[in-house]
Amino acid sequence: MTTIPSPSTSAPETTTERAKPFSRGEIAELSQAWRWFLGQPRVGASFARRLPLSLPATKEINQHPLYGGALSRQFWRTNNYRLTRAGRWFLGLTFALGIFGGMSLDIQTYIPFLYACGVWLVCLLALPLAKPRVRLRAIHGSRAAAGTTLPVTLEITQDSVRIPGLDLTVLAHKLPLDIDAEQENGVLIGSLAPGETVRVRAGLICPRRGVFKVKGWRVESDFPFGVTNAYRAFEESQSVTVYPQYRPLTRLEVPTGRRYQPGGITMASSVGESFEYFGNREFREGDNIRDIDWRATARMAGTPILREWREEYFLRVAVILDTYIPVPTSPIIHSMPTLGALIIPQSRRARAVYEQRGNDFERAVSISAAVSDYLAGQEYVVDLFGAGPELFRLQSGRGLATNEQVLDILANTQTTATDTLSTLLPQLAEDLPQLTSVICVFLDWDDSRRAFAESLRSQGAGVKIIVVRASPPALNPAEDPVFEHQVVVIDADAFAAGVESL
């Protein structure tokens, strides 16, 4: 019998504890991980190529967003560090024999199962004895171009004076996700006699620009049966800067604007002097006797003649890189921020546009590197500005800095989700009177960028615009009577064919 409570009887109140919502920082981290999970837009990599579920044993598992728990990471390390490829197959066979042997005693599969267990027991007992007793030293450069392989020389010495090293292999240890080992399975060393030293060559593939940490190397031994690994890790973090790959320019037209910047060579170098020969004149009291032209003095019947010099002047040029790429979002993010940030960070069409803009940005970085490289080799002082949350200022050329410093800045320059060109003008105001030319590398040619260029031109600087964009820009430069000849558009096909002059 069911009893229906009367209206006067109050039902017991139940309190529901609401789950604590994600903080903004947690949502940002999760969103960033899943954007990386779906493939970085700036390189247009597919999911299967960018984030495989099974990583090589050379990678850093802590950076993988799918292995977030301590248990899953420990399982991955055991599977990749302790077991060889043959060992994983043999482990599966051992489980299969154990299952079939436990189902029925008529099929005597428990006998090979016991033999397999004996093999595993011997391998586990041999792990402490087979652990490599070696010393390792890695030698490699600190810089590499994107898309190239950084050569590494590894020097391995058998440290034990009595026990030889057996079945040794050396491979990279805890590589970042953006750096790949040229030999994913390692470089085979073989056996080492006590005190023996060998040198082997390895390589680190650097497909994308950035600043990365190479954490070390690992020496493994699969003695005695080739199913388990005893290893020794040598963790010594070294920084590797991967700068953008670019093709050097053979010609670059730099507008000079309405001013001439007198900057003596002494501004560019504090060691030594370099002056241009201007002519001869008679010696005056107070002149430097080192500048006397003795041949001309002899021709003038003993009247001292002096060589006159003048300082070489050079031009100051600013290179401004556009970093603004609007981040597309799906409507689900606005209605359900936590779920939307995890599941649908971008719609398919918006993500395709974002990937295209990301590729445009990488091309713009390469063009900026080529422009800076050309200017550094000429009589220019280069001020490189990154239009983003950080304002990069660097003067190179004529002894102030080298082009490597420019490449180091470009190696770590990232896109921004907000347009910061308007905020850059006040910061440029103090330098504009000394700038002769400004070269802008834009990702689009629209009203805001035209207004930015017009503001620079109105203050007397020569302006050159380079638009790097696969699709047509928002405004047609050919229809602009002011900047018709100052705007150069580089699309994807032109960049792939190679840009040699601008």
- pLDDT confidence bin for 111, thresholds 50/70/90: confident
Q: Taking phi first (over 0 means left), then psi (-120 to 50 degrees means alpha), and beta for anything else, what does residue 11 get?
A: beta
> CATH number, domain at 140?
2.60.40.10
- pLDDT confidence bin for 258, thresholds 50/70/90: low
Q: How far apart are CA 395 and CA 390, in angstroms?
A: 16
- Claim to verify: residue 178 and residue 58 sit in the same structural domain: yes
- Claim to verify: residue 292 and residue 186 sit in the same structural domain: no
Q: Across residues 51-72, what is the average pLDDT?
A: 78
- Claim to verify: residue 181 and residue 229 sit in the same structural domain: yes
- pLDDT confidence bin for 69, thresholds 50/70/90: confident
Q: What is the mean pLDDT of the chain?
A: 78
- Claim to verify: residue 297 and residue 345 sit in the same structural domain: no
Q: How far apart are CA 153 and CA 319, in angstroms?
A: 38
- Claim to verify: residue 492 and residue 420 sit in the same structural domain: yes
> b or e along 130-160 (b: 16 or more beta carbons within 10 Å of the residue's beta carbon)?
bbbbbebebebeeebbbeeebebebebebbe
Q: Is residue 260 part of a domain?
A: no
* φ/ψ of residue 340, rounded to 5: -65, -40
Last residue of a domain, which of 225, 243, 261? 243
* Length reported for the chain: 502
* Least confident segment among 64-73, 130-139, 225-234, 321-330: 321-330
Q: Is residue 11 part of a domain?
A: no
- Claim to verify: residue 302 and residue 389 sit in the same structural domain: no
Check pLDDT > 50 for residue 320. yes
- Claim to verify: residue 297 and residue 375 sit in the same structural domain: no
Q: Is residue 270 part of a domain?
A: no
> CATH number, domain at 333?
3.40.50.410
Q: Is residue 362 part of a domain?
A: yes
Check pLDDT > 50 for residue 464. yes
Overall domain count for the chain: 3
Q: Is residue 258 part of a domain?
A: no
- Claim to verify: residue 143 and residue 222 sit in the same structural domain: yes
pLDDT above 70 covers what percent of the chain? 75
- Claim to verify: residue 88 and residue 228 sit in the same structural domain: yes
- Claim to verify: residue 297 and residue 211 sit in the same structural domain: no
Q: Is residue 254 part of a domain?
A: no
Would you say 345 and 330 are in contact if contact means Cβ atoms under 8 Å apart? Answer: yes
pLDDT, tens digit, 9 for 90 and up, residues 134-153:
999 999 999 999 999 999 99
pTM over 0.85: no
- pLDDT confidence bin for 277, thresholds 50/70/90: low
- Claim to verify: residue 361 and residue 397 sit in the same structural domain: yes
Nearest CA among 195, 186, 184 for reference residue 167: 186
Would you say 58 and 233 are in contact if contact means Cβ atoms under 8 Å apart? Answer: no
Q: Across residues 252-273, what is the average pLDDT?
A: 54
The residue segments making up the domain with residue 464 are 315-497
Q: Is residue 166 part of a domain?
A: yes
What is the predicted pLDDT for the residue at 382?
A: 75
Q: How far apart are CA 36 and CA 452, in angstroms?
A: 33
Nearest CA among 280, 130, 151, 263 for reference residue 203: 151
Q: Is residue 35 part of a domain?
A: no
Would you say 275 and 308 are in contact if contact means Cβ atoms under 8 Å apart? Answer: no
- Claim to verify: residue 470 and residue 389 sit in the same structural domain: yes
